[in-house]
Chains A and B, each alone.
Chain A
Amino acid sequence: MTRVASAIFALVLAFVEGEPSQMPLSCHPSLEEVLSNVKAASEKVKDLRAEFVQEKIMTVLDESEKSTGQAFYRFPDLLVLHHEKPEEVTMWIKGREVLVYEKEIDQLRKYSLSEEDRDLTFLAARLDTKALEKRFALSLKKAFRKEEEDFFIVELTPTSEELRADIDRVEAEVSGRSWLVRRISIYETNRDITNITFSKVRLNTGLSGDDVIPEVPEGKRVIDLSE
């Protein structure tokens, strides 16, 4: 898996995890306060389910593509991203192992994450700001109010040479009401932008009933591309 992809997963988790809070904010908190609130909420998360819309914008070529799907997370190290449209693709990430199933071509591939990428990916299981700060410089870029709700844009600028090769910066839009991230924007060094917008986040449901996590197809030959 590419480092960018891992970083995306990491950031999704790092900020999506959070529990709706009843604490309204009447003034703009500091970056530390925002992160503290997100972390406090994330520490209560055992599982979650969310819908997402991912839009890839290839700025220079003036093309974009939108995909939609569902994300599932179960503490401590299982993440499933199920793209439903335009193509059905499911990714299971457990620890360092990644399985990707592309339904259209009926292929199941296996990849592996480096330890560093695994740490990034599952960072948010218990949000570790210090670990995040090892790889990014964090700043509170903007705070605004929209429809009676406060939002905060946290900007993450990669500090490691490897990440900086691919990612220029990341913006996470955090709701000041729920302490959930509503949108993540990843600005790549090649000027491409990926926006991921989350909705209908449900926490600690046990992922049962309607929340059943897609399973890896049984009996499929796995093409092993792990290192």
Chain B
Amino acid sequence: MGRFSRCSLVTVLLMVPLILSGCATPKPQVALHPRADADDFFAMLQHNLNSIESLKATASVVYFASEDEAESLKVIMAYCRPDKLRLKGYKSYTPTLFDFLLKGETWLLYVPEEKRALEGDLDELRKLGGPWHAMAAVTAGLLGWLFDVSPPRIEGFVKGAKEWEMVISPVPEGSRGYLTSLYFAPGDIRIKKQVFTDPDGVVFAEVAFRDYGSHQGVWFPREWEMILTPTQERLQVSIGKLDMGAELDEQVFEILLPRAVEVERVQ
């Protein structure tokens, strides 16, 4: 996998915790009503969404292409409600590796080493990074319904003795997108695991979330690990500094492109 693909993967995957931040929840000790149905449960997941106006975080990311090939980088992430996201990837000894900006329905990705930038609509995010397009599609879809206030269609909600599972339908509805399953410990609304399943029912990716901390009343996982099931590639993310409610200047959501850089439209 080329550097570009890796960057794209990281870009896409780092959007997942934002989704989770949207699903960030009140303290898990909150007792669920015995008759709470899926909608109620999801409403609890979204409870804090409106309270998160902004967020800034740093993360260390290690990507394992195989047992003996890995890549690491650092990422700064800034988010401002409702729909602005900036991700900047670098190594301590290099200049910027990639710069990603999502604003509303459009995104821009600048990779200095390639001396080019790509832009597109949210729907086109899936076209980044070759093999990772499916993940991008899922993420974009999730972002889509997250930014849209209307709740997603919940396909199923199974309250097992040891584990609760919520299955969310593909976005947009009726598409051949990916099913997303969220797993919880009973009565604990912190997401333990997220599983993506392709239209043929094959598990595509699993993301585990650990080391939750409460930040200004919002629960956020500091450690998460994704495994792309078909290839067993892994990605580990460790959140460093986390600032909920960070004051973010409008400049944070602008990428200054060098004059010589051409922007290619992804369609």
Contacts and interface: CB of A to CB of B under 8 A. Distances in A.
A74 B95 CA distance: 25
Contacts of B62: 105
Given A2-B112, A89-B92, A165 B260 contact: yes
B230 to A, nearest CB: 23
Nearest to A61: B76
Contact of A63 (B58, B70, B259): B58
B90 A56 contact: yes
A51 interface: no
A105 to B, nearest CB: 4
Contacts of B91: 89
A221 B68 contact: yes
A5 B95 contact: yes
Interface in A175-227: 188-192, 194, 221, 223, 225
Interface in A149-196: 161-162, 164-166, 188-192, 194
Interface residues of B, number: 35
Nearest to A89: B93
B48 interface: no
A60 interface: yes
B72 A104 contact: yes
A155 B2 CA distance: 36
Interface in B75-94: 76, 78, 86, 88, 90-94
A24 interface: no
Nearest to A87: B92
Interface stretch (B20-28, B31-39, B155-163, B250-258): B250-258
Nearest to B256: A190
A105 B92 contact: no
Interface in A47-90: 54, 56, 58, 60-61, 63, 65, 67, 81, 83, 86-87, 89
**Secondary structure at chain B's binding surface: helix, strand, loop or mixed?**
mixed
A61 B99 contact: no
B92 A67 contact: yes
A4 interface: yes
Interface in A88-126: 89, 91, 102, 104-107
Given A2-B112, A58-B76, A107-B71, A164 B92 contact: no
Contacts, number: 79
Interface residues on A, range: 35 or more
B261 interface: yes
B258 A165 contact: yes
B115 interface: yes
B173 interface: no
Given A58-B88, A60-B252, A166-B258, A2 B72 contact: no
A107 B3 CA distance: 15
Nearest to B99: A190
Given A89-B93, A105-B72, A166 B112 contact: yes
Given A2-B95, A107-B71, 8 more contacts: A58-B88, A61-B56, A61-B76, A61-B252, A63-B76, A67-B93, A89-B92, A104-B72
13 contacts: A2-B94, A4-B112, A56-B92, A60-B249, A60-B251, A60-B254, A61-B78, A61-B88, A61-B252, A67-B92, A89-B93, A106-B70, A189-B256
Interface of A: 2, 4-5, 54, 56, 58, 60-61, 63, 65, 67, 81, 83, 86-87, 89, 91, 102, 104-107, 161-162, 164-166, 188-192, 194, 221, 223, 225
Closest CB pairs A-B (n = 8): A165-B258, A105-B70, A4-B95, A165-B260, A67-B92, A61-B76, A105-B72, A189-B258
